[in-house]
Structure 1
Amino acid sequence: MHGFHITRWSRGLNELASPASLNTENDQVVLQNGIVSITIAKPGGYILGISYNGIDNVLEARNDKNDRGYVDFVSNEPGKPGGEPKIEMTDFKVISQDQNMAEVSFTRTWSSSGGGVPFNIDIRYILRRGDSGFYPYLIVERLDGFPAVEIDQIRIVFKLATGRFHYMAITNTRQRLMPSMRDRESGQTLDYPEAVRLTRPLEREFDGEVDDKYQYSIENEDNKVNGWISPDSAPRVGFWILTPSNEFRNCGPIKQDLTSHTGPFALSMFVSNHYAGKEVNMKFEKGELYKKVFGPVFIYLNSGSTSQQLWSDAVQKQSNEAKSWPYNFPRSIDFIQANKRGTVSGRLQVQDRFIKEQGPQNANNAYVGLALPGDPGSWQKESKGYQFWTRTDKNGNFVINNILPGDYNLYAWVPGFIGDYKYNNTITIAPGGSTKLNTLVYNPPRNGPTLWEIGIPDRLAAEFFVPDASPQFTNFLYRDDNANKFRQYGLWERYAELHPNNDLVFTLGANDYTKDWYFAHVTRKTGDKRYIPTTWQIVFDLPNVISGRMYTLQVALASSTEAALQVWFNDPKNADPPHFATGQIGDDNAIARHGIHGLYKLLSISVSGKRLVKGKNTIYLKQSKARTPFEGFMYDYIRLEAPPLLSPSFDH
């Protein structure tokens, strides 16, 4: 277990550990504690080098000085193309320094003459005695007079030594030896530049494989540890980004984002529009005031004899960091510590009057969270504020801790039920305050009893049929991983291969949605390499129909990308206009980026009983946009509801 004395030291300050120290030279700052040493450009604020365990620099020293460890913003003036500048600071200051800790600040104050992203930016680095790593965090601020701007992305990037780090790990099961950037550069670019088929890799084991950074995305709630291991050194060394809290990330717990990927790169993503689209960008009006703290996150280094040993240690370390959140050591007055934060607790129940159980049920394992005030479900598009989420226990009880002071709405959604819950009253969190709510009852959207349903209402398309990848477009990590096979490249093309002549027809009572309902409603590629719309059919029998009443088709979408849904009831000619149409919706790009969901949308479609017949009925679902292979929907769940006064025998 060579090197794991470092892990013991990092769990607390230890009198045997060397003190933290800070040295400044003309153009750099060095933080060191006898375990790690971090060299930072002064006043630029980007990281030049990280030394650990006899390694002079775990970052790629051949890169330009500002291209090793840095903060970047993707931003644009409204209506103009965006840029991706690495943020370079102009001023340096020592915030605190003693034998137990050093904290340094690199700042840049925006001015109209200087240009750049219109924020005042403060990048902080903390090194503590006994820690096998360091803490970066970021404070951004806008003042009166700052121009309008849109922010697509804010992140910290680490580009590691290419000759050393070859093994990547982001979950217990998603770990592997990785190809190199050189392998990508010599490969075949596929339908978009991030996806490359490796045709001349240095290591033959990667030959023919597809590499795409989006294949290593993960939901915020699970994005706790990502990093790299040097498998060829003795002892092996691990470089990890540990995220102790999601409060500063955008768009809530199930927002997906990048982690580590071929480079070797390790990313700490704070804000992005990945798997969501431009509608989740941070949009600021001229003169709009703003301040937010992103982080701290912990950059952790460890060493040991096996890769699994390093991974397990990093996971345990992240758990310890999460238990210590909010940290008590950052010196910025904008980082609010535990005694000035609040708590909200309560109980959530769900009542669906058309299911057999009478009265409210406890909302087991539901998501409950606080975010900026908005409409029900608005949290999934909210990028400016902080969000605080938890899961209910089997009795529906929840406690949300460490909430920053401010005004919030409480939101929830319950797996197994459609729609979004919002508590009617604004919740004001006072410093150190505790708010106890009465029992909350969610009444999910429902107009009548269920006649039939397809899928599981859980905001994912994972329960539907996901095909095997074409052999020439395989990422070997997922070759035998059925739970993650949707991450394979090119599945949008497989639809036409599996349905070469006719589109999908799903018959209730005869077909199984796990085998017969394709996970994505995509376009069809023709022989002349054009793309055409596709129309799916749902065939079902009704024992009787009330022609003078209204039925409801509930269509919950797990994803939509520049698509348009048109719906007809018993109209095989698909007359114009359709009985229902969305127009073009969605920009989450989850189909191309190997996500099993993007942004959730619920469509409640009313249909007169006059359009239905006793006996066989057919609903036609057309995805009418067809310019690219990536336009389409993923369905979460579909349900046909009878009018509310039908016989109880229609209930399920």
Structure 2
Amino acid sequence: MSYYEYTHHTIDLEFQVILQNGIVSITLAKPGGYILEISYNGIDTILESRNDKKDRGYVDFVTNEPGESGGEPKTETTDFKVIAQDQNMVEVSFTRTWSPSDGGVPFNIDIRYILRRGDSGFYPYVILERVEGFPAVEIDQIRIVFKLARDRFRYMAISNTRQRMMPSMADRENGQTLDYPEAVLLTKPLQRNFLREVDDKYQYSIETQDNKVNGWTSPYSEPRVGFWILTPSNEFRNCGPIKQDLTSHVGPIALSMFVSNHYAGREVNMKFQEGELYKKVFGPVFIYLNSGPSNQNLWLDAVQKQSNEAKSWPYNFPRSIDFIPANKRGTISGRLQVQDRFMKGQSLQNANSAYVGLGLPGDPGSWQKESKVYIYGYQFWTRTDKNGNFVINNIVPGDYNLYAWVPGFIGDYKYNKTITITPGCSTNLNTLVYNPPRNGPTLWEIGIPDRLAAEFFVPDANPKLINNLYRNHTIDKFRQYGLWERYAELHPHNDLVFVVGANDYRKDWYFAHVTRKIGEKKYRPCTWQIVFDLPNVTSRGIYTLQLALASSTEAELQVWFNDPKNANPAHFTTGQVGGDNAIARHGIHGLYRLYSIGVSGKHLVKGKNIIYLKQSKALTAFEGVMYDYIRLEGPPPSSPGFDH
């Protein structure tokens, strides 16, 4: 194995660093730190060589002055150093120390690359630091970008069921832009089979917990070559396991997203005050190259390789002192049960398949907005078994809260003590009990409390706006473009009316409460109705409407009880909330929000009742909400005059 060598680029007189092990060769700009080329088994065109040298493989940021938009993509470093080299591996470092005169994103940046003997790939990772005196800044996004050779890589794969031949960037450039720039109708593709398809990078988003392998293959070359981003752990990504983000998309482009506000909005931005301290390691991820007889063989091999990488986490070879090895991490275990005294059957039951995780100390549910914390800004998650047991391994030392949420139950659990993880510790919390929000017995419910709108009615796509990948999908049909327009087509004259006991939410409750288009770029709010009967009413009792939102985009949801004129003010309003953009970006959820709305029995009547739900913001097609679950609870048995 050769370690590294300097060469002089005779065209632009810039130095390079070449790492090679006989299988893979990585050419890096010195001292800029971006990747000029990747070679694999003698193939010298893995990255797109026609791109500018800074626009092939790089780390980038989207940064803002607080409250303003802007960005600094393609970060360049200023210093180079060999960290380690021996017969088995080499690790190199490209750094930039921030100063006011240099400008740019106010972080000290260390971009590292590791190449090991016998590996068919390499490991990049990034260390970010802020020290005293650094100015305020707001971060939208941090990621690693790879722009692959466009003549070679045409087949994309991000899951077992989401992989296909892809159109080209030229097809997009010659197409028709739809309601936003990312969505394009392919009107003049080079290959006829893409004609009249919609391409949108957000159609290839995925939840963090499933974002393990994404990449491309070269279907027209022999042997076929695969380029894959393998993620062995999600501990360094922001906002927990169900945060959605971009993967691979037309370019061909492959992304490793570390931080973003996609499907969450600016609520999750990394907001630093002047002088605020910070340090964190993002990665390593493994950039894996393989070859084989078919696209499916390459995909399955990459999936198996990712599984092996995950078993090796945390890696024992990165040389940064900020990357915490396994022997300096801790473990926590326990059992989670749920107690809901109004549920049928046992009042205490095991929390089967619950999400349990450690994150920055905060309020219940705060983990879904967590993007930064000094020194130990990581999250560690697992799922419980059928008996509610959980074990979380390899936790970076620090102070945490333990959070959980349980599919089938509303709300968020938080353990009432701060948990301190020390090197080598093993902590057993024994049995924990979650008491989900509940004020009385269920009178009726709509949906499933799982933080998704997937159980509701998702229409077929407009046949003129199809992405063929999802043509025959049932689970992923919500990823088709333009479904927000289909609501008005299905309800042309009147808004949705749902009759409890007669209608089926799987067929009759539209998956998104959207606006109605009434003219060129003109929209109006939609008011939905829930009609239900009450055999008796406790006039002095307090009923509870549990209203859980799976998504909200610049919306204000107003609620009235038996008030057909929707008097002002409403009986309840969320106020304007949300910026997750999940409706436009084909996500079946964004940030979860739960509202427990007290309802005086004086607002209800014996017999027929109507709840009016109005999403009052209507500037565009995309303001709206997705509901997760709605439940009306009667007064608790101890309420005055209770007679249910």
Place the TM-score, normalised by the shorter chain, in its bin.
over 0.9
Q: Which amino acid aligns with 2:4?
A: L
Q: Are 2:7 and 1:25 aligned?
A: yes
How many Å apart are 1:528 and its aligned residue?
A: 4.6
Q: Which amino acid aligns with 1:83?
A: G
Instruction: Name the structure 2 match of 1:43.
Output: 31
Instruction: Name the structure 1 match of 2:314.
Output: 326
Instruction: Name the structure 2 match of 1:411.
Output: 403
Q: Are 2:280 and 1:298 aligned?
A: no
What CA distance in whole angstroms lies between the structure 1 residues aligned with 2:193 and 2:457? 29
Q: 2:467 aligns with which of 470, 475, 486?
A: 475
Q: Are 2:107 and 1:119 aligned?
A: yes
How many Å apart are 1:360 and its aligned residue?
A: 1.6
Q: Which amino acid aligns with 2:532?
A: F
What CA distance in whole angstroms lies between the structure 2 residues aligned with 1:407 and 1:628? 43
How many Å apart are 1:646 and its aligned residue?
A: 7.7
What CA distance in whole angstroms lies between the structure 1 residues aligned with 2:521 and 2:391? 54
5 Å matches for 1:111-190? 111-190=99-178
Q: 1:534 aligns with which of 526, 531, 538?
A: 526
How many Å apart are 1:547 and its aligned residue?
A: 0.4
Q: 2:571 aligns with which of 579, 595, 598?
A: 579
Secondary structure at 1:495 match in 2: helix
Deviations 1:110-157 (A, max 9, x none): 001111100000000000000000000000000000011111000000
Q: Answer yes or no: is the 8 Å Cα contact 1:20–1:102 preserved in 2.
A: no
Secondary structure at 2:55 match in 1: coil
Q: Answer yes or no: is the 8 Å Cα contact 1:20–1:98 preserved in 2.
A: no
Q: Are 2:501 and 1:512 aligned?
A: no
Q: Which amino acid aligns with 2:28?
A: I
Q: Answer yes or no: is the 8 Å Cα contact 2:135–2:275 preserved in 1.
A: yes
TM (norm. structure 2) is: 0.97
Segments of 4+ in structure 1 off by > 4 A?
none
How many pairs does the alignment contain?
632
How many Å apart are 1:438 and its aligned residue?
A: 2.4
Secondary structure at 2:99 match in 1: coil
TM (norm. structure 1) is: 0.96
Q: 1:103 aligns with which of 91, 94, 100?
A: 91
Secondary structure at 1:472 match in 2: coil
Deviations 1:567-615 (A, max 9, x none): 0111111111111111111000000000000000001111111111111
Q: Answer yes or no: is the 8 Å Cα contact 2:247–2:255 preserved in 1.
A: yes
How many Å apart are 1:281 and its aligned residue?
A: 0.4
5 Å matches for 1:421-460? 421-460=413-452
Deviations 1:49-70 (A, max 9, x none): 0001221120000000000000
What CA distance in whole angstroms lies between the structure 2 residues aligned with 1:651 and 1:507? 24
Alignment RMSD, CA only?
A: 1.2
What CA distance in whole angstroms lies between the structure 1 residues aligned with 2:225 and 2:188? 28
Q: Which amino acid aligns with 1:584?
A: Q
Secondary structure at 1:629 match in 2: coil
Deviates more, 1:324-333 or 1:349-358: 349-358
Q: Answer yes or no: is the 8 Å Cα contact 1:559–1:599 preserved in 2.
A: yes
Q: 2:60 aligns with which of 72, 77, 84?
A: 72
Q: Answer yes or no: is the 8 Å Cα contact 1:275–1:599 preserved in 2.
A: yes
What CA distance in whole angstroms lies between the structure 1 residues aligned with 2:456 and 2:255? 31
Instruction: Name the structure 2 match of 1:259.
Output: 247
What CA distance in whole angstroms lies between the structure 2 residues aligned with 1:82 and 1:369? 33
What CA distance in whole angstroms lies between the structure 1 residues aligned with 2:98 and 2:30? 18
How many Å apart are 1:22 and its aligned residue?
A: 1.1
How many Å apart are 1:529 and its aligned residue?
A: 4.2
Instruction: Name the structure 1 match of 2:74.
Output: 86
Deviations 1:67-122 (A, max 9, x none): 00000011011122221321000000000111210000000000011111000000
Q: Answer yes or no: is the 8 Å Cα contact 1:20–1:127 preserved in 2.
A: no
Deviations 1:513-557 (A, max 9, x none): 000000000000114541000000000011100001100000000
Q: Answer yes or no: is the 8 Å Cα contact 2:22–2:41 preserved in 1.
A: no
5 Å matches for 1:209-224? 209-224=197-212
Gaps of 5+ in 2: 9-14
Instruction: Name the structure 1 match of 2:367.
Output: 379
Secondary structure at 1:583 match in 2: coil
What CA distance in whole angstroms lies between the structure 1 residues aligned with 2:45 and 2:638? 72
Q: Which amino acid aligns with 1:504?
A: L
How many Å apart are 1:434 and its aligned residue?
A: 1.1
How many Å apart are 1:504 and its aligned residue?
A: 0.1
Q: Which amino acid aligns with 1:635?
A: Y
How many Å apart are 1:20 and its aligned residue?
A: 4.6
How many Å apart are 1:563 and its aligned residue?
A: 0.4
Q: Answer yes or no: is the 8 Å Cα contact 1:355–1:651 preserved in 2.
A: no
What CA distance in whole angstroms lies between the structure 1 residues aligned with 2:449 and 2:515? 24
How many Å apart are 1:432 and its aligned residue?
A: 1.0
How many Å apart are 1:23 and its aligned residue?
A: 1.1
Q: Percent identity?
A: 82
Q: Which amino acid aligns with 1:558?
A: A
Q: Are 2:483 and 1:501 aligned?
A: no
Q: Answer yes or no: is the 8 Å Cα contact 1:20–1:101 preserved in 2.
A: no
Q: Answer yes or no: is the 8 Å Cα contact 1:155–1:269 preserved in 2.
A: yes
What CA distance in whole angstroms lies between the structure 1 residues aligned with 2:447 and 2:69? 40
Q: Answer yes or no: is the 8 Å Cα contact 2:72–2:105 preserved in 1.
A: no
How many Å apart are 1:32 and its aligned residue?
A: 0.5
Q: Are 2:524 and 1:524 aligned?
A: no
Secondary structure at 2:188 match in 1: coil
Secondary structure at 2:267 match in 1: helix
How many Å apart are 1:162 and its aligned residue?
A: 0.4
Secondary structure at 1:473 match in 2: coil
Secondary structure at 2:181 match in 1: coil
Deviates more, 1:354-363 or 1:163-172: 354-363
Instruction: Name the structure 2 match of 1:6.
Output: none
What CA distance in whole angstroms lies between the structure 1 residues aligned with 2:191 and 2:4? 42
Deviations 1:231-270 (A, max 9, x none): 0011100000000000000000000000000000000000
What CA distance in whole angstroms lies between the structure 1 residues aligned with 2:159 and 2:431? 36
Q: 1:550 aligns with which of 542, 563, 579?
A: 542
What CA distance in whole angstroms lies between the structure 2 residues aligned with 1:505 and 1:80? 41
What CA distance in whole angstroms lies between the structure 1 residues aligned with 2:563 and 2:480? 36
Instruction: Name the structure 2 match of 1:348.
Output: 336
Instruction: Name the structure 2 match of 1:283.
Output: 271
Deviations 1:202-253 (A, max 9, x none): 0000000000000000000000000000000111000000000000000000
How many Å apart are 1:376 and its aligned residue?
A: 0.2
Instruction: Name the structure 1 match of 2:12.
Output: none
What CA distance in whole angstroms lies between the structure 2 residues aligned with 1:295 and 1:321? 12
Q: Answer yes or no: is the 8 Å Cα contact 1:450–1:651 preserved in 2.
A: no
5 Å matches for 1:484-499? 484-499=476-491
What CA distance in whole angstroms lies between the structure 2 residues aligned with 1:228 and 1:503? 44
Q: Answer yes or no: is the 8 Å Cα contact 2:72–2:104 preserved in 1.
A: no
How many Å apart are 1:25 and its aligned residue?
A: 2.5
What CA distance in whole angstroms lies between the structure 2 residues aligned with 1:441 and 1:281? 32
Deviations 1:331-376 (A, max 9, x none): 0011000000000100100100101223321100000000000000
Q: Are 2:607 and 1:615 aligned?
A: yes
Q: Answer yes or no: is the 8 Å Cα contact 2:538–2:643 preserved in 1.
A: no
Q: 2:625 aligns with which of 633, 637, 647?
A: 633
